[in-house]
Amino acid sequence: MSSNILHVIRGIGHEIRHSSSTKSVIQNPTFRYILEQTRKHQVTEKRVCRGQAELQYLAHTYLCYLSSIRRQKELHEMYHGKGERTIKETASLVGLTLPDDRAREDPLK
């Protein structure tokens, strides 16, 4: 197995660990299936099941899918509407700050 596919499979394990309730990735049936398929479609001197790059492409696509789902959930939690927000909260949400209220007061008072 090439080191690049091992790197992708480790990444898949990392993403599954984030989304799974169990801490051990090896106990996860999804990850075990991925390992089984990776071993099954290895290129050996006696057989070639698939193109060498196809399995790597599928694994990389699945890793991208899992990480995108995790990021989407994080963004949804961050920006999801929680009812009415104040102007200050809304401004800080997009990275803006409001001018200080004391600066708007009349300096002659």
pLDDT tens, residue by residue, 19-68? 877 778 888 888 888 888 888 777 665 555 556 677 788 889 999 999 99
Where exactly are the structural domains of the chain?
3-93
Cα distance between residue 108 and residue 41, in whole Å: 81
8 near 66, Cβ under 8 Å?
A: no
Contact present, 28 and 20 (Cβ < 8 Å): yes
To the nearest whole percent, how much of the chain has pLDDT over 70?
79
Measured between its terminal Cα atoms, the distance across the chain in Å is: 77
Burial status of residue 50 (CB atoms within 10 A of its CB: 0-12, 13-18, 19 or more): middle
**pTM for the structure as a whole:** 0.60
